[in-house]
Amino acid sequence: MDTEASPFESSEMLATFLTSTPLLSMSWSLCDRANTMPSQGFVAEQMGSVGHLAFSGVQLGSGPDPTSGRNLEPLVTATNGLFFPLEHQFDGEEGGGEEEGKEPVLVHAGFLRIFLSVKSNPNFQNRMLNMIQNSKSIVIAGHGIGGTVAGLCALWLLSYLQSISSNISVLCITFGSPLLGNESLSRAILREGWSGNFCHVVSKHDVFPRLFFAPLAPLNPQLHSLLQFWQLSMTSPPLALLAEKLLDEGKSQIFRTVLASLEGLAKAEQGKNVTCGFWPFGNYFFCSEDGAICNDNATFIVKMMHSLLLNSSPSCSIEDHLKYGYYVEKASLQVLTKTSFPPAELPESSYEAGVALALQSSGIACQDESVARPAKNCLKLARRMGRTPNLNCANLAIKLSKITPYRAEIEWYKATCDQSDAQMGYYDSFKQRGASKRDFKVNMNRRAKWVNGSQFYMLLVEPLDIAEYYRTGMHRKKGHYISNGRERRYKIFERWWKERPIKEEEKKTRSTFASSTQDTCFWARVEEARERLDNVRNETDPRNQALLLSSLDDFSKYASGLVERKEVSKDVVARNSSYCMWVRDYEELKSQYVQLHP
Amino acid sequence: MAVFRPGESIGFREQVVMKLCSIDMKTHQSAGKLYVCEKIRNSSELVFSFPGSWSVSDWFIRSPFGEVKVDLELFPSLKHIGLNEIATVNEAFLNRFRAILANTQFKKEVRTAVTDGKPVVFTGHSLGGPIAILATIWFLEVYIRPDPNKVAPLCVTFGSPLVGDRIVSHALRRENWSRYFINFVLRYDIVPRVSLTPLSFVEQQLQRILNFFNPRSPFYMQENVGEASGFYVTVMRNALSVVSHAACKIMGSTNLLLDTLSNFVELSPYTPLGTYVFCTGNGKLVAIKNPDAVLQLLFYTSQSNSEAVALNSLKDHLNYKHELQECLKKQSVTCLDDNHLEALPLSNDVTVEINMVLNDLGLSTRARLCLRAAGELEKQKKSNQKAIDIKMEDIERGLGKLQGYKKRCQHKVGYYDAFKLSKDKEDFDANVKRLELAGIWDEIIEMLKRNELPDEFEGRKAWIEIGTRYRRLVEPLDIANYYRHLKNEDTGPYMVRGRPKRYKCTQRWREHAERMSNESLESCFWAEVEELCIKSGNPSIRETILQLKKRVEQQIRNGDLDDDVFLKGSTFDKLLKEHSLTNLDQNDIFRGSWS
């Protein structure tokens, strides 16, 4: 099967698709309306089965200037479970030794506060409820700061819809919005499969979406007047002229700082972690006078932000934030017409030609080698990285089918043990094995192959791992299996299994013993019980003894319950299995105990 | 680049096409007639020409696209066999065709032509085109499918709207019928593109546009530039949504935004079918068969920076006769097959020969990249098919091994019960083989699901045959495994919840190929037996068992099932004994036939 990357570059085609739809112009016109009536904070409209919502980029009376400082705050503590799918750390990440996994999901504190205050507004709640009831799909948009509120709103809505298992589609479109959160947020969104629900429109020069890459604390006063200038330009243009005068010097300071920080990030080697706190997520739609491209690779986005800003100027970078209406209209007209490309520069390979066209659309001239080359390179990088996870996912089913024959081999091993004369069951045979050839082969298959079947694999193989653990005496070194020795894959599989939706008919009772024991840690529990049994014998303090005895009693009840419900496989009740031997020992001990303490 | 005279490889003669076009234009004038039947002078063809009808409701029966699932009684082939998906077609067109079919005269005239061995041609211009297409599919289903040696029909349309979805095109290619359909489209003609637009976008204007085309309307050819340009932009914008979405897919984009966006826009389900012949407007013709490429061309050939194009987009629709006359003089037809597409020049450099005609179609670099992607995708599908074909040997080997296993078990209780007990090493080896084969078949099914194999794949005899053999030999083992592990207690009966797709799919292949009206569940025999065993205590099932036994005997006589099911001690044998239904005499007849 083809594992190569596609021979075509489709980020421009995706942008064309989006531009050909009415979504961008519709969202922009609502954002524009929201900007001119800041007192309300948002505008909502229902168009057939599509609900539209836009947040104003002008936020009044929201206390301290939201851009001041770059304070990030944990999403979990501040929001009381509103964004629950983003909160829980994936089990696979804990204790994996990966440092990035450690940072919690952080978002900009100021934006979060604005969103929470909008959300508590009863008017907003009503509109939202109405929209969810009447829509098949919902577009949430915003310009500038409005975009970050839209982003949070979309994240909240996605979380909420997930909790009620609704299949309403959500699309968040932002125009020139600053970054919202850190890399953990970006990764959590990827993990939930939500990156396709966000599209951030960024014009060629606009400095606002690039602002948070830079350390801003020293620029606070300048930023304040910049924000004021933008807001006044949207609400009362004559006053904006005054504000612009105030800004003057600040313009180039801001521009230089942002450009320098972006330079540092863009030049950073792949893999080296140069963090700036904030990190992009979702798709970015870069638009220029010559067209647009759309891509969701974060590294590419950062480099593109840098490349495009190189040819800009301080005043351009600030005015561009107010020109989204122009860009949207231009793009929507342009997409229908043909743009000619000078034939001499056209590479013959489909992929190279696609890259050249994409760069042309994003407004980077191919003649400008110093800018075009890095941009080209990172577009190619994005291609490779962008495709692999999807391909992996698609090929998983096929890999799984190649593993099943090995599973059958293990199953066979279990079956022969169950029937053998030793009457020990496969758990104990494996634990006490000599150098039998088949035993060895089973061991090889279990370890050598990367195995990915989930529940079945776990049911069958985990007991063997437990046997190996106790056979090699690991429990004396590291402690008991369940608390100290259990491999992470089993914990993850168990979670998958427990989280699956349970259907009614699955709750039937069994008529014969299960083919594999349903509690995969059963044998580990037996081992612990055996140890405790020895401890009881050696224990002199009667209080401790009673404690141990009661825990043994608990286990005995639990285990016999499993046996009664036939949730264990035959090997558990084989006459000489560890479990049966334990039961005999336990009964003996109990009778002794009763004699001693009548 | 192959330049050839018309008629050499796309299957039409220029004189005939010319004649068909003038018949079609004339047919529009004949008021009240459902169709016109005419002979071509100096030629044996019998022509059925369908007039257009000019009200919006004859095109879109409802918003947004007015499509409906086809009736499999009428069009049994219009489905995706493996995925079990039924094709959709435009309901308004389907209704008009049904009205014609209800007319016994039409059926009679067609039947006479077939009996006389005359070639039949279905043709139509504009909104007559879809009727011609449906009539041709109907003809193929009724006459050619039962007897491929009958004289094949021909369907020729001029400026026809699109009729069906991707599955229609897929099914026609699978049956190898696609070659009987030839659609002429003038470069700017708006009509084929309107099918890509949701009705709500053009509802206001569409009737006026149709009046412009209707020779019996007072507004016939009454130009209104303002309206035309608004209409053109709307149609092109929606066409671009459809083709850019399709282009992202064929270019292999896996960006999730693509799927999100398609929930927010109404994308037309309609796709082109058969061969398309684009007329450049200056007497040249470009023929193309790849449906993905045709879809792209529907947008890109009409893309223009000139203001005049909007009016041309209407006028072109009425210009076929004149344009074809030009073509007749020049006699230049360029055929773009998948190999050409894949290596299409990206620049419009006039020194490259093929650009003489590509430039006349007005193809930009982006358009050419999309065509390349369409060619590349088809090539990829072909190479996937090759890779799968190589695996056929592995399947054959695996089946050989299992056949041997089955034969050896013949001396015991039969392989079903031997496998269910799984006592010996041999049973275990059979299980490994079963799983290996399942891996190969699951991969094939997965590829079908992801549309990674050529449309023709499911029509190939060798695969249908090996699929049937695989299903009959291995499915009993899957059933044995299912009931051996008591999966029925967790999941429910095998037939309801446990049957793998690889068996359902291969079963449908055979059912379709042999035009069977009933499900052929011979390979699921054991699942039925197992379920009856579970209900064994219930005396009322005796009758069911008797029925099953009769059916099995019939299937053994047909060679669909082996007689080892009656072996002594097998699950079935025990079941029969329990209900005292064994009939030793009869069993002996079967016992002897096993070799």
Largest separation between any pair of C-alpha atoms in chain B: 88
Return the minimum-mean-pLDDT range out of A27-31, A491-495, B327-331, B550-554: A491-495
> Taking CB atoms and an 8 Å limit, are B253 and A16 in contact across chains?
no
Nearest alpha-carbon partner for A280 in A361, A206, A190? A190
Nearest alpha-carbon partner for A11 in A359, A392, A372? A359
Within a 13 Å sphere around the CA of A76, how many CA atoms are in the beta-carbon half? 10
Cis peptide upstream of residue B500 (ω within 30 degrees of 0)? no
**pLDDT value, residue B137:** 97
Q: What's the average model confidence in pLDDT over A495-517? A: 58
Q: Taking the CB of residue A530, how many other CB atoms lie within 10 A of it?
A: 18
Report the gap between the CA of A10 and the closest CA in chain B (Å). Answer: 6
* Strands (DSSP E) found in B164-314: 164-165, 181-186, 270-271, 275-279, 284-288
> Taking CB atoms and an 8 Å limit, are B347 and A343 in contact across chains?
yes
Place of tokens 């089993």: A490
Between these two residues, B457 and B587, which has the higher pLDDT value? Answer: B457
ipTM reported for the complex, 2 dp: 0.90
Cβ under 8 Å to A: B residues 376-395:
376, 380, 384, 387
**pLDDT value, residue A397:** 54
Q: Check whether B300 has a pLDDT greater than 60.
A: yes
The SS3 assignment for A591 reads helix
Between these two residues, B182 and A341, which has the higher pLDDT value? Answer: B182
Enumerate residues 6+ apart whose C-beta is below 8 A from B156. Answer: B12, B17, B20, B121, B122, B123, B132, B182, B183, B184
Check: CB of residue A460 under 8 Å from CB of residue A522. Answer: no
Show residues of chain B in contact with A199, CB under 8 Å.
257
Nearest alpha-carbon partner for B59 in B203, B165, B173? B203
Alpha-carbon span B445 to B434, nearest angstrom = 16
Alpha-carbon span A80 to B188, nearest angstrom = 59
**pLDDT value, residue A385:** 53
Nearest alpha-carbon partner for B549 in B575, B524, B531? B575
Return the minimum-mean-pLDDT range out of A200-209, A520-529, B411-420: A520-529
Q: Check whether B11 has a pLDDT greater than 70.
A: no
User: Please, which pLDDT band fits residue B6 given cuts at 50, 70 and 90?
Assistant: very low
Alpha-carbon span B274 to A364, nearest angstrom = 41
User: Please, which pLDDT band fits residue B243 given cuts at 50, 70 and 90?
Assistant: very high
Which of B266, B300, B365, B494 should we substitute to test contact with A (largest number of A Cβ atoms within 10 Å)? B365
Nearest alpha-carbon partner for A490 in A514, A524, A530? A524
Write the single-letter amino acid at B391.
Answer: K
Between these two residues, B285 and A360, which has the higher pLDDT value? Answer: B285
Alpha helices by DSSP H, B116-163: 129-139
**pLDDT value, residue B260:** 94
For the ranges A72-81, A338-347, B40-49, the maximum mean pLDDT occurs at B40-49
Which residues pair with residue B120 across a beta bridge? Answer: B46
> Taking CB atoms and an 8 Å limit, are A510 and B258 in contact across chains?
no
Nearest alpha-carbon partner for B411 in B559, B562, B564? B564
Report the gap between the CA of B260 and the closest CA in chain A (Å). Answer: 6
Which residues pair with residue A107 across a beta bridge? Answer: A73, A181
Alpha-carbon span A541 to A534, nearest angstrom = 14
Alpha-carbon span B379 to B453, nearest angstrom = 10
Residue B38 belongs to what H/E stretch? strand B36-39
Show residues of chain B in contact with A1, CB under 8 Å.
384, 387, 443
**pLDDT value, residue A90:** 47
**pLDDT value, residue A425:** 63
**pLDDT value, residue A439:** 43
Q: Check whether A341 has a pLDDT greater than 70.
A: no
Long-range contacts, stretch A123-126, CB < 8 angstroms, 24+ apart: A124/A41, A124/A42
User: Please, which pLDDT band fits residue A542 given cuts at 50, 70 and 90?
Assistant: confident
Q: What's the average model confidence in pLDDT over A238-246? A: 75
Report the gap between the CA of A372 and the closest CA in chain B (Å). Answer: 20
Task: At A543, list the tokens.
Answer: 């209080």
Nearest alpha-carbon partner for B72 in B62, B82, B85? B85
Q: Name which of B255, B346, B384 is nearest A346 (Cβ-Cβ).
A: B346
Which of B305, B369, B372, B444 should we substitute to test contact with A (largest number of A Cβ atoms within 10 Å)? B369
Enumerate residues 6+ apart whose C-beta is below 8 A from A50. Answer: A135, A136, A137, A138, A139, B264
Residue B398 belongs to what H/E stretch? helix B365-409
How far lies A424's CA from each of A411, A419, A558, B581, in Å? Answer: 16, 9, 21, 42
Whether B486 and chain A come into contact, CB under 8 Å, resolves to yes
Alpha-carbon span B432 to B425, nearest angstrom = 11
For chains A and B, count residue pairs whose Cβ atoms are closer than 8 Å. Answer: 182
Q: Residue A517: left (phi > 0), alpha (psi -120 to 50), or beta?
A: beta
pLDDT digits 0-9 by tens, A360-369: 888 877 666 7
Alpha-carbon span A591 to A277, nearest angstrom = 66
Q: What's the average model confidence in pLDDT over B462-475? A: 94
Alpha-carbon span B300 to B285, nearest angstrom = 16
Which DSSP symbol is given to A279?
B
Q: What's the average model confidence in pLDDT over A578-590? A: 82
Show residues of chain A in contact with B361, CB under 8 Å.
none
Q: Name which of B248, B303, B431 is nearest A17 (Cβ-Cβ).
A: B248
pLDDT digits 0-9 by tens, A191-232: 888 999 999 999 999 999 999 888 877 788 888 888 888 888
By C-alpha distance, the chain A residue nearest B197 is A21
**Pairing mode, if any, of strands A169-175 and B164-165?**
unpaired
The SS3 assignment for A251 reads helix
> Taking CB atoms and an 8 Å limit, are B263 and A510 in contact across chains?
no
Report the gap between the CA of B152 and the closest CA in chain A (Å). Answer: 38
Q: Taking the CB of residue A166, how many other CB atoms lie within 10 A of it?
A: 12
How far lies A414's CA from each of A69, A136, A569, A570, A572, in Å? Answer: 63, 51, 10, 10, 11
Q: What's the average model confidence in pLDDT over A409-432? A: 64
**Average pLDDT over chain A, rounded to an integer:** 77
Positions of B marked catalytic: 126, 189, 317
User: Please, which pLDDT band fits residue A344 given cuts at 50, 70 and 90?
Assistant: low
By C-alpha distance, the chain A residue nearest B299 is A336
Chain centroid offset of residue A184 CA: 8
Report the gap between the CA of B263 and the closest CA in chain A (Å). Answer: 7
**pLDDT value, residue B588:** 46
Q: Check whether A41 has a pLDDT greater than 50.
A: yes
- Sign for the CA dihedral angle at A232, A235, A236, A241 comes to positive
Q: Taking the CB of residue A508, how many other CB atoms lie within 10 A of it?
A: 12
Between these two residues, A461 and B312, which has the higher pLDDT value? Answer: B312
First-to-final CA distance of chain A: 73
> Taking CB atoms and an 8 Å limit, are A346 and B347 in contact across chains?
yes
Whether B257 and chain A come into contact, CB under 8 Å, resolves to yes
Residue A558 belongs to what H/E stretch? helix A542-564
Place of tokens 């800018």: A371
Q: What's the average model confidence in pLDDT over A507-526? A: 69
**pLDDT value, residue A269:** 60
pLDDT digits 0-9 by tens, A423-469: 566 666 655 554 444 444 444 343 333 334 455 666 667 777 777 77
**Average pLDDT over chain B, rounded to an integer:** 88
